[in-house]
Structure 1
Amino acid sequence: MSAIKAFRGLKLVTLVMGVWHGGLMAAPDTHWFEQFKAEASDADLYTFLYAMPKGGDLHHHITGTALSEWWYELALKQREHGYRYYTKVTINNCNGYGGNEFSFSPYLLHFHNVLESSYNKLSDCEKSEYKRLEQLNAVEKQAWLNSIRLDAAHEGRDEFFQTHWQRLDELMRSPYLIADILVKNMQAFGAEGLIYMESMMGASGYTDPNGKPISPDTVADIYRDRLQQPDAKATGVTVRMQESILRFAGNAEDQLRHYFDFVSRNNDLYLAVNMVGREDNDKGHPLRFKDTLRELRRHYNNVKLSIHAGEVDEPNFHIRDTLLLGADRIGHGVNLIDDDELLRQLRYGPYLIEINLISNLLLEYIERYDQHPFPEYLRLGVPVALSTDDRGMWDSNITDEFFVAVKEFNLSWDELKQLSHNSLAYSFIDADSKARLVERLNQRLADFENAVEDNQKAALKDVKPVSYSFICKQYQLCQFGSASR
């Protein structure tokens, strides 16, 4: 990486954060925040962070962002579009089911969800294993809700990758349901001070209630229409999207070609393609896609890349290889810490590492937060931003990410502002929209800082945080209300 690029990356972030003074920023007086941290209870700190303006969330999978209660509520709502769902509540060892325990829909899986049209094609024995979603009794409903979040100590990476998505299955076929999940997140994130979301939110794989495919362009129009509805607009949250390919799929190169074309044609809404999926499946190694991406860059000039890399236990060169593919942002980047030379080169940009603290803990890429390289990246000058990944399955929110960061790594007020600014400065949105978002964030941060510095108690007295089970279990902060319970 050239010194010019490194300087430009530093200057970009600095210009976003404040006034440039011959290469150095005038350091504001932030002793008030250090005093606040020293005196505040955990509940006070959480309330402060909930109210704090936060910029954007650049790394989340929309089907992983929905709280279990949202899935249930919105699935039943789909009856207005003709969708009805059944879920598996018992296993009767039906003969001839034709299943494959290594397929996406293994037979031996409770709370597997299917469309009514799929249910009608089952044998009588298999039908006896399912119930309509709205007919679950209280015990069954609670078990259904728990089946798509990590709610037990023994659950981790395998439970997440091998059962959560498989259980959801045909719930993810309705584009109207996914669009409603987006708006639910806009409302929740907006209440936490976010003004921008860049969602991994695909437009392929959807069907009508009878299983007939809906074209991606039609799905994109459904999303556009939903974003124009009053409840979405009232959130004040700007949304853009990414398409995702499953990196280890046999047809991943074809997916890449298809999604580049789709994103390019729908560039008002979609900005980028992302490569997702377990990196410990070697079939998805980054260099597999080098030639395909070089081919695509000969034809497309308006598609960005933000690729998962370094979300793996062993040291490897996936992050180096991912940058070679053309990615401008790296999802997770946990094992960058093992590559000294690349770590040195990434100081001050121009690439961002999308940090997901809670995800990395619950999926066992770290055992404890003190093993996480986030503070090293942050304080070496590697651009980072906090994000939520699959917050619905963690039963958490963006405030939890900031709370963990402050509690575990003693963040300063300047570092909190830097994280929020980075989440806009490194977004893929067009320059004019980005400038407006940055200006809005700057004003909100200035107003917030002035209010809390002047009178912290008065500024926060009407703030009512909404939290979920993660922060209750991990930090015993159980006194806040929850919109999902």
Structure 2
Amino acid sequence: MSKKNKFTTLTALAISAQLIVGSCYAASADWFEKFKQTASDKELYTLLYAMPKGGDLHHHITGSALSEWWYDLALEQSAHGYEFYTKVKVNNCRDYGGNEFGFSPYYLLFTNLLASSYDKLPACEKAEYKPLKDLNATEKAAWLNSIRLDKDHEGRDEFFQTHWQRMNELSSSPYLIAELLVKNMQAFGDEGLIYMEPMMGAFGYTKPDGTVIPAEVTADIFRDRLQQADAKATGITVRMQESILRFSPRAEDSLRKYYDFISKNNDLYVAVNMVGREDNDKGHPARFLPVLRELRHKYNNVKLSIHAGEVDEPNYHIRDTLLLGADRIGHGVNLITDDDMMRQMRNGPYLVEINLISNLLLEYIDDYSQHPFPEYLRIGIPVALSTDDRGMWDSNLTDEFFVAVKEFNLSWAELNTLGENSIKYSFLDQQTKNTLLNEYQEKMAKFEQQVSTSGIKNITTTPVSYSFICDKYQLCLEES
């Protein structure tokens, strides 16, 4: 066969393949559009729950744990010598204002302490606390609700100024955090997820007596836990990020420390993430340009993702964040206000980590008609859905997809793109990324073949939902 004829034949085959793919795509789009027109919310949710999903690239491990998990696992920490106390009343033991503007305000109920810290309190303050294991039913219910947004009037300030402060020393045990990770892996695995990249630092943990545990020891605790049978049975690959509080006065020192740690523990840790309220101007992006340029002179294996655009005002934080070297943007709600950046981010290489439920509950949007997600998606800015702090929202990843389909009429091709993006833009090494991408595509193709012909009638997975979807969409299914 001549080169010309060979080329012509190959071209014809390529065109035929494109026609076949196009025909399949049209069929795919057709079945899902018909399904949406006739399906009940429960049927749609069932399909989305069972649907294979790629990765969750944006969630804080301590914010991703359900309150019930925290409570049960905290009591189990007695096996490692940890005992926790929680504040159940205020006896006005301090003058007004004492530590009211510190990390753990005095007047905040259900603040949690290690027994070693409780033992150091004066008698008056000790009387304000009870062992966590001794709470009565009313106190336990209030404790559970204290670390999730469970009331309509609660929003951004409640979240940023009380939830984390109440947890306080509850997150001192690396064994507890390792168990929370596996709990999340199991729950996400039931939803069809195959990759997680939690913000789950190795620094700041202590022994029961308050002695600091070295980060390298903590990392080994996490590694060992991931090798246990129940973790492996989830089928989920995990890599982690260290996170720094952007407005901390010593944030630059943290960056230096974390870059070195991640570089030395690159089998488990892949990136640094800068977190914290952007409306605190002490954490503005440009502050970190000198130190990041310094660090890039030395380290070649540390990625960077930064919360940016999670703010009400139009500003250039996303532009400045990309200048810092970030590969991914967390939230990106106000990107829509920067026309030049909107144009530049089309078709990559940067991804915006979209958190629909978080943005609503923290009041960065009043309702979903204001959310820029569909604009980003449909003009070619890479996006992926993620959960942020699902434990505090009492939600899951399926809720994010359900909101996206209900509010923005997503097509099947768009759902597939979101899943692929969550693997393509992960911080995995290329070989593992390719393996997971192939796994996701194979699972998605098999699932599509199943549901495009028979709908949900052959789906055997029972969807599990939580209070968010019940409260906001009156879709109340089985709870975990």
TM-score band, normalised by shorter chain: over 0.9
Q: 1:21 to 1:105 in 2, by over 3 A?
A: farther
Whole-angstrom distance in 1 between the partners of 2:122 and 2:156: 33
| Runs of 5+ consecutive residues of structure 2 not aligned to the other structure | 1-14
Whole-angstrom distance in 2 between the partners of 1:469 and 1:311: 24
Instruction: Give, in angstroms, the shift of residue 189 of structure 1.
Output: 0.2
Whole-angstrom distance in 2 between the partners of 1:395 and 1:302: 35
Does residue 215 in structure 1 map to residue 214 in structure 2? yes
Q: Which residue does 1:58 correspond to in 2?
A: 57
Whole-angstrom distance in 2 between the partners of 1:295 and 1:169: 33
Q: Which residue does 2:421 correspond to in 1?
A: 422
Does residue 142 in structure 1 map to residue 144 in structure 2? no
Whole-angstrom distance in 2 between the partners of 1:37 and 1:419: 18
Whole-angstrom distance in 2 between the partners of 1:457 and 1:51: 9
Whole-angstrom distance in 1 between the partners of 2:458 and 2:259: 46
Does residue 481 in structure 1 map to residue 478 in structure 2? yes
Instruction: Give, in angstroms, the shift of residue 25 of structure 1.
Output: 7.2
Whole-angstrom distance in 1 between the partners of 2:119 and 2:83: 11
Q: Which residue does 2:190 correspond to in 1?
A: 191
1:344-364 alpha-carbon deviations (Å, 9 max, x no partner)? 111100000000000000000
Instruction: Give, in angstroms, the shift of residue 96 of structure 1.
Output: 6.4
Q: Which residue does 2:363 correspond to in 1?
A: 364
3-state DSSP class of the match of 1:302? coil
Whole-angstrom distance in 2 between the partners of 1:104 and 1:21: 60
Which amino acid in structure 2 is aligned with residue 482 of structure 1? E
Whole-angstrom distance in 1 between the partners of 2:414 and 2:153: 34
1:6-58 alpha-carbon deviations (Å, 9 max, x no partner)? xxxxxxxxxxxxx9989x97461220000000000000000000000010000
Q: Which residue does 1:204 correspond to in 2?
A: 203
Q: 1:20 to 1:53 in 2, by over 3 A?
A: farther
Instruction: Give, in angstroms, the shift of residue 481 of structure 1.
Output: 1.2
Contact 2:32 2:411 in 1 (8 A): yes
**Count, aligned residues:** 462
Instruction: Give, in angstroms, the shift of residue 99 of structure 1.
Output: 3.7
Q: Which residue does 1:168 correspond to in 2?
A: 167
Whole-angstrom distance in 2 between the partners of 1:250 and 1:463: 48
Instruction: Give, in angstroms, the shift of residue 453 of structure 1.
Output: 1.2
Instruction: Give, in angstroms, the shift of residue 225 of structure 1.
Output: 0.4
Instruction: Give, in angstroms, the shift of residue 98 of structure 1.
Output: 8.9
3-state DSSP class of the match of 1:272? strand
Does residue 320 in structure 1 map to residue 289 in structure 2? no
3-state DSSP class of the match of 1:114? strand
3-state DSSP class of the match of 1:35? helix
Whole-angstrom distance in 2 between the partners of 1:317 and 1:26: 40
Whole-angstrom distance in 2 between the partners of 1:459 and 1:174: 43
Moved more, 410-419 or 92-101: 92-101
Contact 2:43 2:456 in 1 (8 A): no
Q: Which residue does 1:129 correspond to in 2?
A: 128
TM-score normalised according to structure 2 size: 0.95
Q: Which residue does 1:269 correspond to in 2?
A: 268
Whole-angstrom distance in 1 between the partners of 2:417 and 2:411: 10
Does residue 463 in structure 1 map to residue 440 in structure 2? no
Q: Which residue does 2:432 correspond to in 1?
A: 433
3-state DSSP class of the match of 2:416? helix
Does residue 337 in structure 1 map to residue 341 in structure 2? no
Of 457, 469, 472, 2:470 maps to 472
Q: 1:289 to 1:442 in 2, by over 3 A?
A: same
Q: Which residue does 1:12 correspond to in 2?
A: none
Which amino acid in structure 1 is aligned with residue 471 of structure 2? K
Q: Which residue does 2:381 correspond to in 1?
A: 382
After superposition, the CA RMSD in angstroms is: 1.5
Which amino acid in structure 1 is aligned with residue 56 of structure 2? D
Whole-angstrom distance in 1 between the partners of 2:32 and 2:87: 51
Which amino acid in structure 2 is aligned with residue 402 of structure 1? F
Contact 2:46 2:456 in 1 (8 A): no
Q: Which residue does 1:13 correspond to in 2?
A: none
Which amino acid in structure 2 is aligned with residue 266 of structure 1? N
Instruction: Give, in angstroms, the shift of residue 458 of structure 1.
Output: 2.9
Instruction: Give, in angstroms, the shift of residue 456 of structure 1.
Output: 1.4
Whole-angstrom distance in 2 between the partners of 1:122 and 1:81: 23
Which amino acid in structure 2 is aligned with residue 206 of structure 1? Y
Q: Which residue does 1:449 correspond to in 2?
A: 448
3-state DSSP class of the match of 1:432? helix
Q: 1:98 to 1:116 in 2, by over 3 A?
A: farther
Which amino acid in structure 2 is aligned with residue 198 of structure 1? E
3-state DSSP class of the match of 2:456? helix
Contact 2:244 2:251 in 1 (8 A): yes
3-state DSSP class of the match of 1:211? coil
Larger radius of gyration: 2
Q: 1:99 to 1:173 in 2, by over 3 A?
A: farther
Instruction: Give, in angstroms, the shift of residue 455 of structure 1.
Output: 1.0
1:162-210 alpha-carbon deviations (Å, 9 max, x no partner)? 0000000000110000110000000000000000000100111100000
Does residue 91 in structure 1 map to residue 97 in structure 2? no
Whole-angstrom distance in 1 between the partners of 2:249 and 2:454: 59
3-state DSSP class of the match of 1:459? coil
Instruction: Give, in angstroms, the shift of residue 292 of structure 1.
Output: 0.2
Which amino acid in structure 1 is aligned with residue 479 of structure 2? S
Aligned-residue identity in percent: 70
Does residue 410 in structure 1 map to residue 409 in structure 2? yes
3-state DSSP class of the match of 1:245? strand
Whole-angstrom distance in 1 between the partners of 2:108 and 2:94: 16
Q: Which residue does 2:78 correspond to in 1?
A: 79
Map residues 221-236 of structure 1 onto 2, 5 A cutoff: 221-236=220-235
